[in-house]
Amino acid sequence: MLLNVLKPRHTPSLYAKETSRARRGDIISADGFHLATTKKLYKAVVNTRYIDPQKKELFIELFSIYSGIKTDEIRKKLDKRKGVVVLSYNISQIQAQYLKKLAYELRRFKVFMELKNPKTGYKSIHGLSIIESGESREYPYNKVLTPIIGYPHKLEDDGYTFVKGVKGLEKKFDSTLLARQNALIRGRRDVNSYIILDKESFTKTKLNGYDIKLTIPISLQIKMEKMLDSMKVQLDAKEIMIAIMDSHSGDVLAMASSNRYLPKHIKRSDYPSLNAGMIEYSFEPGSVIKPITFSLLLEKKLVNPYDLVNGHNGRFKIGRKVITDEHRFDWLSAEDVIVYSSNVGIAQLAQKLSGYEFYEGLESFGFSHLSTPDLIYEKKGSIPSQRRLENEIYKATCSYGYGMEANLMQILRAYSAFNNHGAMVYPRIVTSFLDEFKREIPREQLDEVQVLSSATAQRMKKILIKTVMKGTGKKAITPGLEIGGKTGTAHIVEKGKYVHKYNTAFMGFANDKKHHYSIGVLVIQPKGSHFASQTAVPVFKKAVDIMVEDGYLEPDVIK
């Protein structure tokens, strides 16, 4: 008997620990709306062997009230098998909190019995357990700002489901959004297995991923997207894109496409829309490059705006290539080459630049380089080599936007110099990070790049205003605002050949006394008309009208 008394007893551990997973950060619009957020998922688990048969119906009734699951469904699951039963895999975070309180009360009212393990002889109680099973990424505003926001993929880690960014901001800022530290509580437990918080207990705080705050207000973004949806139908286009940026700060106010998708329900038909076309669609820009070429000539004092240029009646031969104009001119001033978009005129003027000067100039304007640090998978496009630009034909075609490729944001960034005293800004989409205490961590803005003198930029600005007032951009006129810009139409290449399909663009600016915005529009393959003046310019005008309605621009109109 004495030996039995002295024999070591196996008792359950006096200590317990609880962990709680930190969650992925949110993506928040400039006006405070959560565009992408994380929802915690929980599962409710119970061991039927521990439920007191006399109190089984009480358990069913109470669990039904707290979970919203019908009593018949709960009863069916409990009766189906003995042992561990998952009552629900889809418990929301709020429901989980209530069910955890219920679990405590059920123990207190002895709904669960203490049973002895026949193998170990230990006595224990296993009640209702509410366990974190994973997280789900939610997009409360559905298609808004896709594909800029991007989307994630689901991954598993020890039975826990979490997400990882695949495209867009979700991918670019994945490491910032990721949960930083899970919570841990460890200490002695009471008779109900709850941890006693005292001097001996240990606590590690949960650190969620940082939220990222955007420069884009959702209210303006939604209106731009609705407008593009309407214009896509009206112009029978494959896609329409628009980007609006503060010319001085680089803050992007809208970045919209007519082609969007539901991040949680991506279909095969959505695949072409998954790419952020503003940076991932590289195209020959056409005539919107003419002001860039002309500004290089002005900066190097190789041309005077009032010089006369021979229009050759709309047909001019360089080597074996014949360059043509849509509208025929005999003679026109150098600045009117831009105003009336003469290929013949700019091709001749470009010959004044050496291959090195032209190449260096295009590169200094950001072509063949990334336009923004805030997006991923950007296609940088290309410009002809310095050697090729020594060739008069390459020099001519590149001067009006052929033989090179760029994306919408690269061109928009280049145009910002005309509206910002010759300095280009980097488009910025993410303005700051927020920790779980809502403390803001501002992001450092990249320095602007001075590509033109203030005098040259001012002259170009006047020419672009004249282009709207008298030339190809007349439909963009808005009384009381300073509007300037340039149209561009370019053939599309398929299988190495130009086909009868077009991209049209309008790049420009809209200013009032306080605000200066650079705005870029791209219409991909409109079927109704291939003229930018009838496709891209009306989209620009509608965007400006929306900005006026919403107070982003205030026309100086005498009432």
Q: What is the pLDDT of residues 149-174, one digit of tens each?
A: 999 999 988 778 889 999 999 999 99
Q: What is the pLDDT of residues 440-493, one digit of tens each?
A: 999 988 899 999 999 999 999 999 999 999 998 999 999 999 999 999 999 888
pLDDT category at 8 given cuts 50, 70, 90 is: very low
Q: What is the pLDDT of residues 315-335, one digit of tens each?
A: 999 988 999 998 888 999 999
pLDDT at 117 over 50: yes
Structural domains in the chain, CATH included, are 37-133 (3.30.70.2110), 218-549 (3.40.710.10)
pLDDT of amino acid 1: 40
pLDDT of amino acid 436: 87
- Residue/partner pairs of 219-224 with CB below 8 Å, 24 or more apart: 219/31, 219/550, 220/244, 220/253, 220/254, 220/546, 220/547, 220/550, 220/552, 221/29, 221/144, 221/145, 221/254, 221/255, 221/256, 222/141, 222/144, 223/546, 223/550, 224/254, 224/256, 224/543, 224/546
Distance in angstroms (rounded) separating the CA atoms of residues 400 and 377 = 27
Residue for token pair 């090179």: 404
pLDDT of amino acid 84: 92
pLDDT category at 5 given cuts 50, 70, 90 is: very low
pLDDT of amino acid 3: 43
Alpha-carbon distance values, 200 to 11, 140, 183, 205 (Å): 20, 43, 17, 16
37 residue type, one letter: T
Distance in angstroms (rounded) separating the CA atoms of residues 98 and 87 = 15
191 residue type, one letter: V
The secondary element (H helix, E strand) that includes residue 523 is strand 516-524
Where is pLDDT greater, at 546 or 4? 546
Residue for token pair 């110099």: 417
Q: What is the pLDDT of residues 174-230, one digit of tens each?
A: 999 999 998 888 887 665 566 777 777 778 888 999 999 999 999 999 999 999 999
pLDDT at 285 over 50: yes
CB 484 within 8 A of CB 291: no
Give residues with Cβ within 8 angstroms of 389, minimum separation 6: 353, 355, 356, 358, 359, 395, 398
Q: Which of 131-140, 230-239, 289-298, 350-359 is least confident?
A: 131-140
Where is pLDDT greater, at 68 or 420? 420
pLDDT of amino acid 89: 86
Residue 15: CB atoms within 10 A of its CB come to 13
Distance in angstroms (rounded) separating the CA atoms of residues 312 and 328 = 8
**N residues, the chain:** 559
At 415 the three-state DSSP class reads helix
pLDDT at 65 over 90: yes
Please state the rounded mean pLDDT for residues 32-41: 94
**Which of 528, 537, 476, 485 is CA-nearest to residue 507?**
485
pLDDT category at 122 given cuts 50, 70, 90 is: confident
Q: What is the pLDDT of residues 227-247, one digit of tens each?
A: 999 999 999 999 999 999 999
Q: Which of 7-11, 27-31, 379-383, 528-532 is least confident?
A: 7-11
pLDDT of amino acid 210: 97
CB 107 within 8 A of CB 192: yes
Distance in angstroms (rounded) separating the CA atoms of residues 549 and 360 = 41
From the CA atom positions of the chain, what is the Rg in Å? 32
Instruction: Write down the mean pLDDT value for the chain.
Output: 91
**Which of 261, 39, 256 is CA-nearest to residue 151?**
261
At 342 the three-state DSSP class reads coil
pLDDT category at 7 given cuts 50, 70, 90 is: very low
The secondary element (H helix, E strand) that includes residue 491 is strand 482-494
Residues of the chain above pLDDT 70, percent: 96
